[in-house]
Structure 1
Amino acid sequence: MDTHYINEVLKGDTNAFGYFIRTYQNKAFGLAIAIVKREEEAKDIVQDSFITAYSSLENFRNDSKFSTWFYRIVVNKALQFIKKEKRKDEVVEEYSILENEKTALNNAIRQLEKQDLKKLIKRVFEKIPAKEALVLQLYYIDEHSILEIKQITVFTKTNIKVLLHRGRTNFYTILKNDKIKKPY
């Protein structure tokens, strides 16, 4: 379906690009906010990413999915924003999570209603480093594989696994220590 709209845009039908905005704006916003943590900046990044994608569409090579290519643009724009803001990732201590604690966490999460869960996840993501929030968002919420995450973020496979581990640990620690107010 994406290929059809890409061809239409390249033929000069600027309205056809609306398909991409409707299809990808929500996930793109989710990625941007996971990285920059601020709604207005995330909206600007998504808008800028769509402009970049539109103006660079003739460079899209079809060797990956359009969504992967586009999300990579979003991630790069968000990381550039952070770099400009000179924000640094927090130093995180490693925690080990017992298997029964993982099971308890998974059971607790399943019991939350979907809307409350989204609010809770957003609040936790605001408290963990941007790269960890990004990788958790891509892996668990957007259900991308590690290979797809590698293509979107240009992180190494090892780095992605480390960020997933740290992100899960930080996510669990924040929930366990009740550092955020639960939405219910």
Structure 2
Amino acid sequence: MDTHYINEVLKGNTHAFGYLIRTYQNKTFGIAISIVKNDEDAKDVVQESFITAYASLSSFRNDAKFSTWLYRIVVNKALQFLKRQKRKEEVSQEIAITENDKTAYNSALEQLNHQDLKLLVKKVLSEIPPREALILQLFYLENQQISEIQTITDFTKANIKVLLHRGRKSFYKKLKKDNITKPY
């Protein structure tokens, strides 16, 4: 479906790009907010990303999904924003994801009802480091596979696993700190 609208835009039908914006605006905003942590900044990142995507649409190759290509632009724009804000990013080391981390994370989430979960996830993601929040957002909320995340972020597979591990830990610690989960 995206291919049809992309071809229409390339033929000069600028209104066809509206479909792509409507289709991906919420997901791109979710990715941007997970990195920049501020609604207004995330809106700016998304807007810049769509402008870049529109201007670069002719360079889009159909060897990847449009969403992957667009998410990559959003991630790059968000990271550029962070650099402009002179935030320092954490250096990753390779750590294995243990089964206990997955169990603790999943157990904590299962204790919350769905509506509270949405609000809580948004709050916690805004309070953990940007890279960790981005990876959790892509992996759990956007259901992206590690290979897709690798394409979107340009992080190594090992780095993504490290960030997933750290993100889960940060997420769980934040939940536990706020007394949202039962003590084990």
Name the CA distance, whole Å, in 1 between partners of 2:99 and 2:73: 37
1:97 touches 1:169 (CA, 8 Å); kept in 2?
no
Find the counterpart in structure 1 of residue 2 from structure 2: 2
1:14: how far off?
A: 0.6
* Deviation at residue 98 of structure 1 after TM alignment: 8.3
Indicate conservation of the 8 Å contact 2:131/2:163, yes or no: yes
Farther off after superposition, 21-30 or 116-125: 116-125
Task: Say whether the 8 Å CA contact 1:125–1:133 is kept in structure 2.
Answer: yes
Alpha-carbon contact 2:108-2:172 (below 8 Å) kept: no
Partner of 1:43: 43
Residue 56 of structure 1 aligns to a residue whose secondary structure is helix
* Aligned partners of 1:34 and 1:133 also within 8 Å: yes
Report what 1:87 is aligned to: 87
- What are the ranges of 5 or more consecutive residues in structure 1 without an aligned counterpart? none
What residue number does 1:143 align with? 143
Question: Is 1:75 paired with 2:75?
Answer: yes
Map 1:98-137 → 2, pairs under 5 A: 99=100, 103=103, 105-137=105-137
What residue identity is the alignment partner of 1:109? L
Paired amino acid for 1:36: V
Q: Which amino acid aligns with 2:115?
A: Q
Taking structure 2 as the reference length, the TM-score comes to 0.89
Q: Distance in 1 between matches of 2:109 and 2:30?
A: 20
- TM-score, length basis structure 1: 0.89
Change (3 A) 1:158 1:97: closer
Query: C-alpha deviations, 1:118-138, integer Å up to 9, x for none?
Result: 110111112211000000000
Q: CA RMSD in A?
A: 2.2
